[in-house]
Amino acid sequence: MMTVSRNKLTKKDITNMGWLSMVLQFGFNYERMQAMGFCYTMAPYFKKIYGDNTEEVAAAMTNNIDFFNTEMHMATFLNGLILSLEEAGEDRELIRNIKNGLFGPLAGLGDAIFWFTLLPISAAIAVSLNRQNSILGPIVFMVIHFFGAISRIPLGHLGYNLGTNAIDLIRENAASITKAAGVLGVMVVGALIPSYIDFSFPETFVIFDVVPVQGIFDTVLPNILPLGFVLFLYYLVSKKNVNAVKLIFGIIVVSIILSYFGIM
Amino acid sequence: MEITLVQGLLLSLLAFICSLDQQAEVFLIFRPIVVCFFSGIILGDVQLGLSAGAVAELAYLGLLTIGGTVPPNPLIAGIMTVVISYTSGVSAEAALGLSLPFALLGQWIGMILSTVYSGLMPIADRICERGDVAALGRLVILSAIGKSLVTAVIIFLSAYLIQEPITALVEKFPEWLIHGFRVAGNLLPGVGLALLLKVMLKIDNVAYLFIGFLIATYIEMGNVLPIAILAVCITFLSYINSRDQKAYDGGVDDDGI
């Protein structure tokens, strides 16, 4: 591998990256969810690492524009981790596999902390203050969530430091880690298929007047339709090189037509 | 009471700012408890803002964006609960019910925009291939402003101009069209996952795709953490196996056989 000159990121860079990571969900869409914001959070720091070497900046950006969806604070943690690996010149396939393997599990962790614990508790406190006609209700709520919001900055540092400290360990075992991260990523994607994709026919869609179509598929294997759908799309994008835009608009048009006829 | 043009504009400015936060989900100022308070200040009735905030926040507390599905829009519900109570004099509880068509309209438009924004990804891909950091920044910011402008316009129309026609429109909206976009929204993550598989799937690891899929299909779990731990265990075992195998082969060599 050709060595490229790299600039070091400072502590302040990681703090600024933490602030920038607040744009994570800007440009959110159903195809790749948070990909755009996630990539943009790191892009200015790729540029700092590689300077005028636009080719390397482009390669790092392209490596991070895949499907991505996690809890927002955890995304900042991953941003920090990826920046440290990129700065150390780790193999991009390794980086990509680590990212794809971790975003799902981290989402569960972040949701549990911020959305199932902090939000309900802060809302309960604020609502009780509102009921006493105190303007402290909304103010307390905003203060709590201001700190909740900036807690992503230390999480970004945590990810960066973790990557930096573990870099030798990662390098020595690069081959096994790349393989392990690949297994992790593919297995997590397999597990995401049933939860992210809902491909089912309504009970009202029957053949021979009485047999519900969905029941037939469920008897064979539950979620066989989402699985088959993803494998079919995989076939189209990787073997037939079908353009993703055509795929998206095709799916929208077909969905609306099927909905009109009551088939889905 | 009537809403003045200035109040209508201020409400839509509030909607614009809070909608940016609603997309980002960072400071949570889009939650009803906060937007109702500020709507109350704009309309000169802080009391109403507080009571409506309490009612609407409790109602929307159970509704979170999880796994890409969008609940009725809490930001629009919050503002419209205050507006309806203020203009018609009904209680905050009754106004919350009447705000539902607006929250639903916001939800549908949000779904349609997130579907249509999928079309931005090829542009983002080309920008990344050029390594153009500034252009990616512009795309990210402009797409956020686009969604916020739509929310601001909905609030301006709903609060100031044509409150009743909108309620009537939502009631008449063709169900199949909304349902069609919902179906598309449920299917589109498949494109993202397929693109991920395009880069990750190899003949060595294809079996793990099915293992992950089967476990998630047959065992109910809150998130994919158990699957990730299992994957780590599997790769650790295979690492140990290959190490032992190497040591064993090496041992044979040492004996000179």
Nearest partner of B97 among B165, B44, B167, judged by Cα = B167
Checking DSSP bridges between strand A206-207 and strand A211-212, what pairing results, if any?
antiparallel
Distance CA B25, CA B31 (A): 10
The domain boundary residue, chosen from A155, A189, A223:
A189
Residues of B in contact with A29 (CB under 8 A): 114-118, 120-121, 188
Q: Are B189 and A67 in contact (CB under 8 A)?
A: yes
Task: Kindly determine whether residue B47 and residue A133, on different chains, have CB atoms separated by under 8 Å.
Answer: yes
Does B205 reach chain A within 8 Å, measured CB to CB? yes
Structure confidence at residue B65 (pLDDT): 43
Q: Which of B223, B233, B237, B246 to mutate to test the interface with A (most CBs of A within 10 A)?
A: B223
Does B60 reach chain A within 8 Å, measured CB to CB? no
Whether A168 and A205 map to the same domain: the answer is no
In angstroms, the separation between the Cα of residue B77 and the nearest Cα of chain A is: 16
> Which of helix, strand or coil describes residue B162?
coil
Residues of B in contact with A20 (CB under 8 A): none
Task: Kindly determine whether residue B128 and residue A62, on different chains, have CB atoms separated by under 8 Å.
Answer: yes
Q: Which domain holds residue A91?
A: 11-189
Structure confidence at residue B70 (pLDDT): 43
Question: Is residue A1 included in any domain, yes or no?
Answer: no
Contacts of A158 (CB under 8 A, 6+ apart): A77, A80
Task: Kindly determine whether residue B209 and residue A69, on different chains, have CB atoms separated by under 8 Å.
Answer: no
Whether A227 and A144 map to the same domain: the answer is no
Burial class of residue A121 (count of CB atoms within 10 Å of its CB; 0-12, 13-18, 19+): exposed
Helix B74-88 × helix B133-156 angle, to 10°? 30
With a CB-CB cutoff of 8 Å, which residues 115-154 of chain A face chain B?
115, 119-120, 123, 126-127, 130-131, 133-135, 137-138, 141-142, 145-146, 148-149
Task: Kindly determine whether residue B125 and residue A65, on different chains, have CB atoms separated by under 8 Å.
Answer: yes
Contacts of A11 (CB under 8 A, 6+ apart): A157
Question: Is residue A5 included in any domain, yes or no?
Answer: no
Q: How many domains does chain A have?
A: 2
Strand partners, B125: none
Nearest partner of A113 among A155, A148, A147, A83, judged by Cα = A148
Question: In tens digits, what is the pLDDT along chain A, a chain of 264 residues?
Answer: 445 667 789 999 999 999 999 999 999 998 899 999 999 999 999 999 998 899 999 999 999 999 998 999 999 999 999 999 999 888 898 898 888 888 888 887 888 788 877 887 888 888 888 888 889 999 999 999 999 999 999 999 999 999 888 877 777 777 777 778 788 888 888 988 888 888 888 877 887 777 888 888 888 888 999 999 999 999 998 888 887 778 878 888 898 899 888 787
Distance CA A207, CA A134 (A): 60
Residues of B in contact with A190 (CB under 8 A): 208-214, 216, 227
Question: Is residue A181 included in any domain, yes or no?
Answer: yes
Please give the C-alpha separations between residue A155 and each of A48, A59, A75, A148, A160, in angstroms, as whole numbers.
Answer: 21, 25, 9, 11, 9
How far does Cα B109 stand from its chain's mean position?
12
Whether A243 and A177 map to the same domain: the answer is no
The domain boundary residue, chosen from A170, A189, A208:
A189
Whether A46 and A115 map to the same domain: the answer is yes
Task: Kindly determine whether residue B201 and residue A186, on different chains, have CB atoms separated by under 8 Å.
Answer: yes
Whether A150 and A214 map to the same domain: the answer is no
Helix A174-196 × helix B225-254 angle, to 10°? 150
Whether A164 and A93 map to the same domain: the answer is yes
Q: What's the DSSP call for residue B257? A: -
Strand partners, A28: none
Question: Is residue A101 included in any domain, yes or no?
Answer: yes
In angstroms, the separation between the Cα of residue B183 and the nearest Cα of chain A is: 6
Q: Minimal Cα distance from B68: which residue of A?
A: A30
Residues of B in contact with A25 (CB under 8 A): 23-25
Does B196 reach chain A within 8 Å, measured CB to CB? yes
Structure confidence at residue B62 (pLDDT): 60
Residues of A in contact with B230 (CB under 8 A): 187
Whether A17 and A86 map to the same domain: the answer is yes
Strand partners, A212: A206
Q: What is the CA radius of gyration of chain A?
A: 22
A98: left (phi over 0), alpha (psi -120 to 50) or beta: alpha
Structure confidence at residue A4 (pLDDT): 60
Q: Helix, strand, coil proportions of chain B in percent (round to 5)?
A: 80, 0, 20
> Which of helix, strand or coil describes residue B2?
coil
Question: Is residue A2 included in any domain, yes or no?
Answer: no
Locate B83 and state its tokens.
């507006």
Contacts of A49 (CB under 8 A, 6+ apart): A6, A7, A9, A56, A60, A83, A86, A87
3-class DSSP string for chain A: CCCCCCCCCCHHHHHHHHHHHHHCCCCCECCCECHHHHHHHHHHHHHHHHCCCHHHHHHHHHCCCCCECCCHHHHHHHHHHHHHHHHCCCCHHHHHHHHHHHHHHHHHHHHHHHHHHHHHHHHHHHHHHHHCCCCHHHHHHHHHHHHHHHCHHHHHHHHHHHHHHCHHHHHHCHHHHHHHHHHHHHHHHHHHHHHHCCCCCCCCCEECCCEEHHHHHHHHCCCHHHHHHHHHHHHHHHHCCCCHHHHHHHHHHHHHHHHHCCCC
For residue B40, report the phi and psi dihedrals to the nearest 5 degrees.
Answer: -60, -40
Question: Is residue A248 included in any domain, yes or no?
Answer: yes
Distance CA A75, CA A162 (A): 15
Largest CA distance in chain A: 69
Question: Is residue A3 included in any domain, yes or no?
Answer: no
Whether A76 and A108 map to the same domain: the answer is yes
Whether A156 and A43 map to the same domain: the answer is yes
Q: Are A52 and A22 in contact (CB under 8 A)?
A: no
Distance CA A4, CA B178 (A): 51
Q: Are A158 and A152 in contact (CB under 8 A)?
A: no
Burial class of residue A77 (count of CB atoms within 10 Å of its CB; 0-12, 13-18, 19+): buried
> Which of helix, strand or coil describes residue B219?
coil
Residues of A in contact with B115 (CB under 8 A): 29-30, 248, 252
Strand partners, A68: A33
Distance CA B36, CA B147 (A): 21
Whether A94 and A39 map to the same domain: the answer is yes
Task: Kindly determine whether residue B180 and residue A260, on different chains, have CB atoms separated by under 8 Å.
Answer: yes
In angstroms, the separation between the Cα of residue B36 and the nearest Cα of chain A is: 9
The domain boundary residue, chosen from A151, A170, A189:
A189
Whether A151 and A32 map to the same domain: the answer is yes
Question: Is residue A176 included in any domain, yes or no?
Answer: yes
With a CB-CB cutoff of 8 Å, which residues 26-45 of chain A face chain B?
26-33, 35-37, 39-40, 43-44
pLDDT along chain B (257 residues), means of 10: 88 96 94 95 94 86 48 87 87 81 86 89 94 94 95 91 71 77 81 82 89 90 80 85 75 49
Q: What's the DSSP call for residue B69? A: B
Structure confidence at residue B138 (pLDDT): 96
Rounded to two decimals, the pTM is 0.79
Whether A28 and A157 map to the same domain: the answer is yes
